[in-house]
Chain A
Amino acid sequence: MIRLTIDNKAIEVAEGTTVLDAAKMLNIEIPTLCHHPKLTPFGGCRLCIVEVKGVPRPLTSCTTPVSEGMEVATSTPALEDLRKTLLELILSDHPNDCMICEKAGDCTLQELAYFYGIRENRFEGERRIYEKKDGNPFIERDMGKCILCGRCVKVCDEIQGVGAIDFAYRGFKSKICPTFEKDLDCEFCGQCVAVCPTGALTGKMWQLRGRQKDINAIDTTCSYCGTGCNITLHVRNNKVVRVTSKENTWNEGWLCVKGRFGYSFINSPDRLKKPLIRIAPKESIKGSKGQSLKNSDTLTLGRSDTCDFSAIFREASWDEALDYIAAKLKEIKERSGADSIAGLSSARCTTEENYLFQKFIRAAVGTNNVDHCARL
């Protein structure tokens, strides 16, 4: 164990711990932009600088390991002055458009500008202009807001193992882009969106759907594969408008393209809204133009915009639909026995619903003909 003091507070930490992490253990806040606890340290933004006794110039605390007897100061007039200058330099090349930015209220850069009281900028000058719009359907890449912290590059490589983006060019021309500055074509997990500290990376689907302050966040579990990732549904006006995942849950905040972006089916106009009772023979399914639909035409089938199913089904009340089903099931059971009835449950539904369903089939209908899709 290594003993050191940070802002005159003594602490003992394991060898290899960084000064930044040691300070965190003491609840001492050091501002950062490029640092992310789940990624390797980079030391790019320089905001986390600290003074170490005996070292002539400031050190970045995120890349400096602790050493025995170290005396660290995290906030001195000189350090705060440097930090403010660093922020001013970053902001000198950042569009001043927080009022229309998706990230406003949830932006680390905005937060730091607020704490350091930066309104005007001493370093007004040339700005980087990015004319290219990335045509991918998932991730909005507004590179004018990029501060080159490199979190996205690291998460893509270190966590996702993809390496779809990297730094290109040098100096003022530096930018983060896919190979040959093409449109992004990757796994679209959106990990980069999750770690971006500014509004440079956001989801295209949640543009203009409401900012953080208007949103009610509800923690739940993803409904796609069996991994069971924690997801947080962001709800506005009874609509899910965004999905995120918390860093401190077992999936560490990482999601896949389906978990992060595959939520808009919830509000699809195709959702079934009323019980339906068949009025036409099974062969007579027609498209909206009256054409006969083949069994394989299923993309059209069930799509409210292209398929008119009013000729096949009529809407019914719950009472009518349920009474009809109950009467049919009773009649079939009486005539052909309970084993002539079966139920196919759903691995998409909750455990409780599955329990009720098998109880219904076993106790109410009286057969063990119940299964679900585990085999498929």
Chain B
Amino acid sequence: MTNSIREIEGMEVIFVIGSNTKETHPVIANRMLKALRKGTRLIVADPRKVPLVRFSEIFLRLKPGTDVALLNGMAHIILKEGLHNDEFINERTEGFEEWKKSIDPFTPQNASKITGIPAENIIKAAKLYGGSRKAGIFYTMGVTQHTHGTDNVNAIANLALLTGNIGREHTGINPLRGQNNVQGACDAGCLPNVYPGYQRVDMPMVKKKFEDTWGVQLSGKEGLKSTEMVESAFKGKLKALYILGENPMLTDPNIEHTRKALDKLEFMVVQDIFLTETAALADVVLPAACFAEKNGTFINTERKVHLVRKAVEPPGDAKEDSWIIAELSGRIGYPMKYSSSEEISEELGSVWPALSGISYSRISAGGIHWPCPTKDHPGTEYLYKAGFPRGKVSFTPVKYVPPAEVTDNDYPFILTTGRNLFQYHGGSMTRRVAPIEKHAGEPYVEINTEDAKKAGIKDGEKIKASSRRGQIEIKARVTDRVSSGVLFIPMHYSEAAANAITTDALDPHAKTPEFKVCAVKIEKIH
């Protein structure tokens, strides 16, 4: 997030696109409701009538995968209505004129035709967002999990640049992080192209700095992204994989393919708190401590570093991940010696100035937002106050490209996947919580009332859902949450895993799978 969660309260307009905030980030949704009570106006764009829609002034029900057309369509109207921010565009951006030309084809009529949203609603939303100078955009995987996810994000950035809705209090671009410490994992350098603090591995100066700090020769070659690791294993190039607390056998697309790929590995180690679907395929399984059993920090979606404190001892011989990693490292000839997690945190702060000013004692009563370069720096609630790090930022022309797999006569429905309120991601934790399991323990597919009627499917009836990659049997939940032609399956349930049928088509830049669109068919079970 470029803003902090606190700033939500001061926004004039909130534009939520591809985020089921009320179910997946409920406490952030609470903050939005608080703002709405003070007069903030809400736009929600989503293929499903998600719970937040009830609070919105404008609901843009777009066809899955048509985000670029909607966002460019809004930009078209903002330009036509003269709502753009000339001062901001001149001072802080470049490439405006060229980008402007790329927007020409996205008339409200064209945008409406592609997205299925009535043109007047796109116009209303554009005027509302474009007419405000204190507007925040919020998005999650509904924007990124597409073969054109990077394009979607660029189209969002263009909209913010066009209106100057970034770099000030109460306005910005806010991707909501889906896991407790995705931000921290990225910041700490668990990415194949950058060292900690987003410092590129292929820049000799940076590499030298880390070689000096770590006292060893490093590789300057960019590594494999997670989805590429699976492909590389499938091709037999990748021989060994060490997995820490992840369950690709449920959360990666096209499970059957993932399984074949992991089976081809010569050696796989899984370190987890449960014997997950992935751990069951491992050569060695290591028992780890969970969040309540260790000290450290989580960095949340607003870049705020929070303390994690040990409350109980891990069960049996289970050990903290840091102990396991350090032990293993010593045994392959690179000893690591740390006396506490804070010492590790200090080392991270020494290689990345954004965290240099943060110490455990400073955050013991409440978190601090990075960048926080010095011990007396208060932290940074919103980014780009003093301008963008590389001076001017560019508008990026974005074309509308349909999803990798479109519907046809054989597979006439669009399947989109995600989370529900009660379960969490791969479910290894929440599915072991009895009341949650009792209340929301059964997989289901959301199907539109009209579609169900046409197919003769009743609410609660078990049906077959299949794609070109696999099939599952699953209970139908007949609802108008999804529009006609669209199905939704929550990802949590391994016994009817949505990812048995999703596509492994990837965004060419981010290598994020297109979980939000694939073509499926449904059949009654006789």
Contact = CB atoms under 8 A, between A and B. Distances in A.
Interface of A: 136-138, 158-161, 187-189, 204-205, 216, 218-230, 233, 235, 238-240, 249-252, 254-259, 261-268, 270-278, 282, 285, 295-299, 301-302, 307, 309, 312-313, 316, 318, 321-326, 328-330, 332, 336, 338-376
Task: Tell me which of A204, A349, A353, A357 has the highest count of chain B C-beta atoms within 10 A of its own C-beta.
Answer: A349
Given A240-B292, A296-B495, 4 more contacts: A223-B180, A228-B306, A238-B313, A351-B296
B339 to A, nearest CB: 12
B422 to A, nearest CB: 6
Task: Tell me which of A233, A302, A325, A353 has the highest count of chain B C-beta atoms within 10 A of its own C-beta.
Answer: A353
A346 B246 CA distance: 6
Nearest to A270: B274
Contacts of B226: 344, 371-373, 375-376
Name the prevailing secondary structure of the B interface residues: mixed
A337 B5 CA distance: 45
B187 A351 contact: yes
Nearest to B190: A345
B274 A268 contact: yes
B285 interface: yes
B301 A226 contact: yes
A69 to B, nearest CB: 31
Given A226-B179, A266-B292, A272-B275, A332 B244 contact: no
Contacts of A360: 325, 328-329, 334, 336
A256 B329 CA distance: 39
A353 B285 contact: no
A219 B298 CA distance: 13
Given A136-B439, A278-B284, A296-B495, A322 B331 contact: yes
Nearest to A221: B306
Interface string B492-526: 00111100100000000011110100000000000
B229 A264 contact: no
Contact of A282 (B34, B176, B277, B281): B281
Contacts of B185: 345-347, 349, 351, 354, 372, 374
A350 B297 contact: yes
Contacts of A321: 284, 286
B462 interface: no
Contacts of B512: 375-376
Contacts of A225: 24-25, 176-180, 424
Interface in B297-336: 297-302, 304-313, 315-322, 324-329, 331-334, 336
Top 9 nearest A-B pairs (CB, nearest first) are: A273-B316, A228-B300, A350-B296, A226-B177, A368-B223, A346-B245, A302-B275, A351-B184, A298-B494
B390 interface: no
Contact of A371 (B54, B190, B255, B332): B190
Given A226-B179, A298-B250, A321-B286, A364 B223 contact: no
Nearest to A253: B27
A354 B348 CA distance: 10
Contacts of A267: 315
B322 A356 contact: yes
Contacts of B304: 228, 250
Contacts of A366: 217-219
Contacts of B283: 277-278, 328
B366 interface: yes
Given A318-B327, A362-B219, A373-B246, A354 B190 contact: yes
Nearest to A138: B435
Contacts of B279: 272, 302
B188 interface: yes
Nearest to A271: B315
B341 A352 contact: yes
A289 to B, nearest CB: 17
A295 B421 CA distance: 26
B321 A158 contact: no
Contacts of A250: 5-6, 304, 366-367
Given A351-B188, A356-B326, A273 B287 contact: yes
A161 B55 contact: yes
Interface in B470-510: 472, 494-497, 500, 510
A257 B439 CA distance: 11
B109 interface: no
B454 interface: no
B214 interface: yes
Contact of B311 (A158, A222, A235): A235
A234 to B, nearest CB: 9
Contacts of B240: 328-329, 332, 340-342
Contacts of A189: 26
B332 A365 contact: yes
Nearest to B515: A376
B248 interface: yes
Contact of A187 (B249, B311, B421, B513): B421
A349 B496 CA distance: 27
Contacts of A343: 241-244
A363 B287 contact: no
Contacts of B243: 343-344
Interface in B160-206: 176-193, 195-196, 201
A83 B204 CA distance: 75
B431 interface: yes
19 contacts: A205-B434, A223-B298, A225-B424, A256-B27, A257-B422, A266-B292, A278-B283, A296-B496, A326-B328, A339-B219, A341-B238, A348-B181, A350-B296, A351-B185, A356-B329, A364-B329, A368-B221, A371-B226, A374-B186
B219 A368 contact: yes
Interface string B3-38: 001100000000000000010111111100110010
B242 A342 contact: yes
A273 B290 CA distance: 12
A364 B311 CA distance: 31
A301 to B, nearest CB: 5
A364 B325 CA distance: 10
A223 B332 contact: no
A173 to B, nearest CB: 30
A359 B248 CA distance: 22
Contacts of A298: 249-250, 276-277, 280, 494-495, 497
B434 A137 contact: yes
A159 B33 contact: yes
Contacts of A227: 5, 25-28, 176, 300-301
Given A218-B309, A256-B26, A357-B244, A373 B251 contact: yes
B227 A375 contact: yes
B285 to A, nearest CB: 4
B373 to A, nearest CB: 17
A375 B219 contact: no
Contact of B513 (A222, A302, A374, A375): A375
B229 A371 contact: yes
A99 to B, nearest CB: 27
A375 B216 CA distance: 30
A277 to B, nearest CB: 6
A221 B298 contact: yes
Given A328-B267, A345-B244, A222 B180 contact: yes
B334 A364 contact: yes
A229 to B, nearest CB: 5
B96 interface: no
B277 A371 contact: no
A329 B268 CA distance: 10
B273 interface: yes
A284 to B, nearest CB: 11
Given A226-B182, A324-B284, A271 B334 contact: no
Given A159-B30, A322-B328, A299 B495 contact: yes
A358 B188 contact: yes
